[in-house]
Amino acid sequence: MAEQDSKDGLSRRTFLGRSSAVLAAAASLPVVAAAQQTMDKSKDTHTGVNEQQPGPKNSVLDSAEPDSVWPPTTDAGGQPPFKYPFSYAHKRVEAGGWTRQVTVRDMPISKKMAGVEMRLVSGGIRELHWHVGAEWAFMTAGSARITAVDAKGRGFVEDVHEGDLWIFPGGVPHSIQGLGPDGCQFLLVFNDGNFNEFETFLLTDWLHHTPKEVLAKNFDTPESTFANVPSRELFIFQRDLPRPLEEEKKEVYAATGPVPDSFAFFTDKMKPTKVTAGGSVKIIDQSNFPATNIAAAIVTLKPGGLRELHWHPNDDEWQYYVKGTARMTVFAAGGHARTMDFHPGDVGYIEQSKPHFIENIGDTDLVFLEVFPTPDYQDISLGEWLAHTPSRLVDEHLGTGEDFLRKISKKEVVITPE
């Protein structure tokens, strides 16, 4: 039965879902043709009697998630959700800005990575702190002053702007401060799905929980020096803007010098790794950003553009959507596949080696980030696989004809159309 359904182009689910009234109306046609006609109509308009939803519905959410409301007929099985909007995350608001996070506690599939969105007003400071995992960041608006000190006491101070990146390796203490008239907003990604932004090692919190006599002995100074240490963490607070960058660099680099490899990466100085008619991609990993142990790609798709069918063999992929509207289908083997829609501020997650595509379904450019908890970016595309496999062998699988297979690009396309 399943084989016959496939040959007729009729899915068992769609056929059984049609009411007897619909089939009766097409009694003059063969049963299969009538069912096929009804299936095609409902696929386009979703007006079939088996697609009505007379009960409660969230119209606002449904209109933004059409591929979850009416999934493509190619979707099947129990693939769990691989999306979580930052809009659902609790926002902690402080005098100097706000922050919110998406972790494995919110998105169970996201076992290896977590993300944080943060806003700092002009002069707003994310206080001096550190954490066990590495911190990869992408500036989404404004400008910031970032500082850090490595394990050899070498300093780092830099200003970053919209579109720039930074990396702070695990255990490296650092800070972030909003600059300019309107401060900044940025994304942080951590190579630990269980990361918690509200439980980091904070300077004020540590010193508050250390006896003053110990602090005095440690720094060979009177206890009164620490009389004004806050009684609770500052976390995000506002102060005066920092001194000029070159002045602070001179102060910080005295004696030990700067870190050997900058923790900042300026993407506007980088030529795209790949440009096609459908868009472009910039790949940033340890090959061009030596300080990082987290690889990433900044992908731009023009309307109708497609991030071609592919998978990543070396680790999971954490996504963040910056601009535009997309849909993504993830295939999970065993006949499981699911399609979901993405909007600015959404997080996506694809487990290692699961094939997928991303398509721009809006009328403006789509910009999204691919982030990986590994220093090296790797992917394998469907086209690349088929182009480098004997054409006769592939044709024996797919029946496409060898002429088609020989025309597939020998080089990875990445973004279509070429």
Average pLDDT along the chain: 90
**Burial of 21 from C-beta contacts in 10 A (0-12 / 13-18 / 19+):** exposed
Backbone angles phi, psi at 289, to 5 degrees: -135, 80
Q: Three-class SS of residue 245?
A: helix
Which residues of the chain, if any, have pLDDT below 50? 1-43
Predicted pLDDT at 49: 86
Cα first-last separation, the chain: 41
Known catalytic residues are 370
Instruction: Note the pLDDT tens digit of each residue in 364-415.
Output: 999 999 999 999 999 999 999 999 999 999 999 999 999 999 999 999 999 9
Tell me if 110 is assigned to some domain: yes
Q: What is the DSSP letter of 386?
A: H
Whether 416 and 278 have beta carbons less than 8 Å apart is answered as: yes
Domain assignment of residue 72, yes or no: no
Q: Is 90 assigned a ligand-binding role in the annotation? A: no
> Same domain, yes or no, for 100 and 238?
yes
According to DSSP, residue 313 is labeled S
Tokens of 346: 């959404």
Residue 93 placed within a domain: yes
pLDDT at residue 375, rounded to an integer: 98
Ligand-binding site membership of 46 (annotated): no
CA distances from 369 to 48, 191, 315 (A): 38, 15, 15
CB atoms within 10 A of CB 66: 14
Q: Which two tokens stand for residue 188?
A: 């942080």
Domain shared by 154 and 200, yes or no = yes
Q: Is the CB of residue 48 less than 8 Å from the CB of residue 41?
A: yes
Domain contains 211? yes
Other beta carbons less than 10 A from residue 415's beta carbon: 24
**Model pLDDT for residues 18-36, shown as the tens digit of each residue:** 444 333 333 333 333 433 4
Residue 44 pLDDT: 52
Q: Specify the pLDDT at position 47.
A: 75
Same domain, 120 and 221: yes
Check whether residue 223 and residue 348 sit in a common domain.
no
What residues make up the domain containing 17?
Answer: 2-52
Q: Which residues pair with 102 in a beta bridge?
A: 115
Q: Do residues 70 and 51 lie in contact, with contact meaning Cβ atoms separated by under 8 Å?
A: yes
- Separation CA 226–CA 214 (nearest Å): 11
Describe the chain by its helix, strand, coil percentages, rounded to 5.
25, 30, 45
Give the per-residue pLDDT at 52: 85
Give the CATH number of the domain where residue 120 resides. Answer: 2.60.120.10
pLDDT in tens, 311-367: 999 999 999 999 999 999 999 989 999 999 999 999 999 999 999 999 999 999 999
Residues 256, 276 share a domain? no
Count: domains in the chain: 3
Report d(CA 328, CA 343) in Å as an integer. Answer: 11
Question: Is residue 84 in some structural domain?
Answer: no
Establish if 80 belongs to a structural domain: no
User: 261 and 274: one domain?
Assistant: no
Give the pairing of strands 184-190 and 337-342. Answer: unpaired
If asked whether residues 35 and 109 sit together in one domain, one would say: no
Query: Is residue 57 included in any domain, yes or no?
Result: no
Residue 148, pLDDT score: 98
Task: Note whether 221 and 96 are same-domain residues.
Answer: yes
326, 359 in Cβ contact below 8 A?
yes
Note the pLDDT of residue 403. Answer: 97
Three-class SS of 290-331: CCCCCEEEEEEECCCCEEEEEECCCCCEEEEEEECCEEEEEE
Q: Is residue 388 part of an annotated ligand binding site?
A: no
Q: Is 312 annotated for ligand binding?
A: yes
Backbone angles phi, psi at 347, to 5 degrees: -110, 135
Q: Was 161 annotated as part of a binding site?
A: no
